[in-house]
Amino acid sequence: MTLTGQTSTRKWLYWGSHYLMIAAFVIFALFPLYWLLKVSVTPNDILYTEGVRMWPSRTTWENYTFVLTQSNFPHYFLNSVIVAGTTAIVTTLVAALTGYAFSRFAFRGKVIIVALMLITQMFPLVMLIAPIFKILAPLGLTDSLTGLIIVYTAFNVPFATFLMQSFFDGIPKDLEEAAMIDGNTRFEAFRAIILPLTLPGVAATLGFVFTAAWSELLFALMLVSSESASTFPVGLLSFVSKFSVDFGQMMAAGVLALIPACLFFLLIQRYLVQGLTAGAVKG
Amino acid sequence: MASIQIANARKSYGAVDVLHGIDLDISDGEFIVLVGPSGCGKSTLLRMIAGLEDITSGDISIAGTVVNELQPKDRDIAMVFQSYALYPHMSVAENMSYALTLRKTAREKIADAISGVAEILGLTALLERRPKALSGGQRQRVAMGRAIVRKPQAFLFDEPLSNLDARLREQMRTEIRKLHRRLGATSVYVTHDQIEAMTMADRIVAMHDGIIQQVGSPVEIYDRPANIFVASFIGSPAMNFLEGSYEQVGENSAGIRLTDGALVPVLPARDAQHNQPVTLGARPEHITIVSDGENGLPAKVELIEPMGLSTLVHVTLAGKPIKIFTMDRPAYAVDSFIHIAFDMAKVHVFDSASEKRLPPASEPHGDHAGQ
Ligand SMILES: Nc1ncnc2c1ncn2[C@@H]1O[C@H](COP(=O)(O)OP(=O)(O)O)[C@@H](O)[C@H]1O
Ligand SMILES: [Mg+2]
């Protein structure tokens, strides 16, 4: 065998094992989603009778039609869009301003504020439900979407701030200084020069907060009792009745709930990829 | 165009004093180079002029107005950064026109200004490109262009050439000088490179540890350095220093007794006492290699560095390494002994304690020693 033949076999082995491992990981990660899809299109009468099969012998859309027309699901869905969307936007706005301050200014008490923000991330959420309920109840913010938005925003701001700070840290200070010398105030420089360059970071933060708020169950369950203010994770539980679990409908609702998150990431993925490769093209 | 006055300007970061009372008058149209080792406070001073750093105390005036409290945008200065700081999401043309757009300059006027400056800097073909698609040298030009189109009161440069390769740096040095001659704009240029300082400055401001060591024309600074720091920092290859004590030999002659007992004749120094500990300073080109028999001092050759035009000979004298600059081709080998002589009229005497230069009595009194 020639030398080049040897190296090309080695190369083939190298890349082959690469892709094999990536494929194994992707299958492992996506398998539950596949199962979700499979159960959602399986007719109820054969769900338990057919045993474990990779694909049912018959498929149906009836679970979907039921969820969309006969259940409260569209309403939960709308509530979730409102809560997750507003939370994502408000959190990102606050986090961008705070993260910029952390990244660019030295001020008294900075260390203390950072420490406090880290501490808020250390407690299990369950511990905080009772006090938060006590605070929100007299304000009339339980059983309301506004209450949920406030709580979600409060819980997501610290992490989102650190995320935004790291993106600002990646942008040289010289840029806004040049803009300030060119005739901008600091805020104008932030808006016209720094923010456009941080769009990947903004997109990543929006996506992160949106998915966190979209799938949150604990607070949604404890702070809201009425149907009208329920979000979709709570709604999913309504498919569990005292005597049975309606898996087909529950899975259909689950698949539908994936759609906005997927759409959202499709929208921002251009910036996300930019964000991931930003380090490579700088300089 | 405008003059800049800096009066007793200080800067502290918390308890750390970075600048200890800077006084400097920059005339209208002058090209000033702030030079000094890294960390001596050059950038801090420049950024205080720009308004990017607060002034702890003292005053800075531009065109006769105290600007201490003015925002950078209201000081009408332009700055070229070491990193160039080009806006990555804007084209070359947009980068250069940004300041004019903010000033609501008419569109035709902006277009004229941009094409004029692009012409001068050879950027015409690149106007639509993003900074990412430019070479280092081209980015540097865009940064210059962005400063020039504004026609500001003063230009500030913070080590603008230090990211370029040697050849390009040399070329840009002359170009910046030519631009300055053409625009006549007051310029403050920061560098740690003494060659840039020597070649570009109308006046050099040599700084060390937050204190101005000397202000003067390049030749003045080179020929009459105020102290050991300036003498050693300016000039390449660097000045040689030898410890010794001052000896008044007669009415009109003096010398420095080196540690090995040899006497180097020098011009009688003003204000020097007999037996005062002094340091002899001699530039490599002010030491000559003499044939045996003349009254040279024996020195051992350690290394011979050919530099094409000239040769740098490293020797040891009185246990100290000494560099000698010669235009002759060396006819001696490493490890052999040669005889060297110091050019009496050109060597310097420094007080070893204060490190200040003790000028010869024959030198006219002058204020070129800075502070
Ligand atoms: N933000 C800051 N906080 C504390 N010290 C600083 C800060 N910026 C600069 N310094 C200190 O000030 C001194 C001068 O810095 P600088 O002006 O950047 O030096 P140069 O430009 O001459 O290399 C350095 O010792 C540096 O450590
Ligand atoms: Mg500097």
Q: Which residue has the tokens 């301050």?
A: A101
To the nearest 10°, the Cα dihedral for B261, B267, B269, B270?
Answer: 160
What does the pLDDT look like over A31-78, one tens digit per residue? Answer: 999 999 998 998 888 877 877 788 888 888 888 988 888 888 889 989
- Do A199 and A226 sit in the same domain of this protein? yes
Distance CA B134, CA B157 (A): 21
- Residue A76 domain flag: yes
Kindly state whether residues A130 and A189 are assigned to the same domain.
yes
Give the end of a domain, one of A43, A62, A81: A62
B186, B309 Cβ separation under 8 angstroms:
no
Do residue A255 and residue A147 come from a single domain?
yes
Pocket lining: B191 vs ligand 1, CB cutoff 6 Å: no
pLDDT in tens, A194-248: 999 988 889 889 988 998 999 888 888 888 888 888 888 888 888 777 677 788 8
**CA nearest neighbour of B239 among B309, B325, B358, B354:** B325
- The answer to whether A121 contacts chain B (CB < 8 Å) is no
Cβ contact A281–B132 (<8 Å):
yes
**Which ligand 1 atom is at minimum distance from the Cα of B11?**
12
- CA–CA dist B219, B336 (Å, integer): 36
> Is A106 inside any structural domain?
yes
- Whether residue A92 is found in the same domain as residue A31: no
Is position A251 within any domain? yes
Q: Please tell me if residue B70 touches chain A, with a CB cutoff of 8 Å.
A: no
Can you give the three-state secondary structure of A202-267, one letter per residue?
HHHHHHHHHHHHHCCCHHHHHHCCCHHHCCHHHHHHCCECCCCECHHHHHHHHHHHHHHHHHHHHH
CA pair distance A38, A55, nearest whole angstrom: 7
pTM: 0.83
Ligand 1 contact via B44 beta carbon (within 6 Å):
yes
Distance CA B278, CA B154 (A): 42
DSSP state of B158: E
Token pair for residue A239?
A: 């498919």
Q: Has residue A67 been placed in a domain?
A: no
CA A203 to chain CA centroid, nearest Å: 11
Give the H or E element holding residue B125: none
Instruction: Choose from A105, A107, A180, A182 for mutation: most chain B CBs within 10 A.
Output: A182
Q: Count residue pairs from A and B with Cβ separation < 8 A.
A: 55
How many C-alpha atoms does A153 have within 13 Å on its Cβ side?
A: 18
User: Taking residues A8-26, what's their average pLDDT?
Assistant: 92
pLDDT tier for residue A2 given thresholds of 50, 70 and 90: low
Separation of alpha carbons B265 and B248, rounded Å:
10
- Give the pLDDT of residue A280: 38
Best mutation site among B13, B42, B48, B213 for ligand 1, i.e. most ligand atoms within 8 A of its Cβ? B13
Residues A118 and A215 in one domain: yes
Q: Which two tokens stand for residue B179?
A: 């631009």
Query: Which of A21, A41, A62 is where one domain is finished?
Result: A62
Q: Is B14 in the pocket of ligand 1 (CB under 6 A)?
A: no
Q: Decide if A106 touches B, using CB distance below 8 A.
A: no
Could you report the per-residue pLDDT of B250-305, keeping only the tens digit for each? 888 899 999 988 899 999 998 899 999 999 999 999 999 998 767 789 999 999 99
Tokens of B253: 């002659």
Report the number of distinct structural domains present in chain A: 2
Establish if A41 belongs to a structural domain.
Answer: yes
B52 sits in the region (left: phi over 0; alpha: psi -120 to 50; else beta) called: alpha
Find the domain containing A112 and state its range: 72-281
> A41 and A89, same structural domain?
no
- B73–A178 CB contact, under 8 Å: no
Angle, alpha carbons B178-B180-B181 (nearest 5°): 65
A281 touches chain B (CB under 8 A): yes
- Residue A78 domain-assigned? yes
Please report, as a single letter, which amino acid is at residue A114: V
- Asked whether the ipTM of the predicted complex exceeds the cut of 0.85, the reply is yes
Boundary of a domain, candidates A62, A82, A107: A62
A123 and A172: one domain? yes
Q: Please tell me whether residues A83 and A186 are part of one structural domain.
A: yes
Report pLDDT for A54.
83
Q: Which amino acid is at B94?
A: E
A53 and A108 together in one domain = no
* Joined tokens for residue B131: 């900074």
Q: Is residue A247 part of a domain?
A: yes
From the first residue on, what is the mean pLDDT of each consecutive set of 10 residues in chain B (371 residues)? 92 94 96 96 97 96 94 95 93 95 93 94 94 92 94 95 91 92 94 95 97 97 97 95 93 90 92 94 95 82 94 93 94 92 95 95 68 42
CATH number, residue A219: 1.10.3720.10
Comparison of pLDDT for A261 and B196, the residue scoring more = B196
Residues A48 and A98 in one domain: no
> Cα distance from B79 to chain A (closest Cα, Å)?
7
The verdict on whether omega for the bond into residue B237 sits within 30 degrees of 0, i.e. cis, is yes
**Residue A211 resides in a domain:** yes
pLDDT the model gives residue A34: 92
Ligand number nearest CA of B37 is: 1
Q: Does B81 touch chain A (CB under 8 A)?
A: yes
Confidence of residue A4 (pLDDT cuts 50, 70, 90): low
Instruction: Answer yes or no: do A224 and A271 share one domain.
Output: yes
- For residues A129 and A258, membership in a common domain is answered with yes
The DSSP secondary structure of chain A, one letter per residue, reads --HHHHHHHHHHHHHHHHHHHHHHHHHHHHHHHHHHHHHHTS-HHHHTTS-S-SS-SS--SHHHHHHHHTSSHHHHHHHHHHHHHHHHHHHHHHHHHHHHHHHH---TTHHHHHHHHHHHTTS-HHHHHHHHHHHHTTTT-TTSHHHHHHHHHHHHHHHHHHHHHHHHHTS-HHHHHHHHHHT--HHHHIIIIIHHHTHHHHHHHHHHHHHHHHT--HHHHHH--SGGG--HHHHHHTTB-SS-B-HHHHHHHHHHHHHHHHHHHHHHHHHHHHHHHHHHH--
Contacts of A137 (CB under 8 A, 6+ apart): none
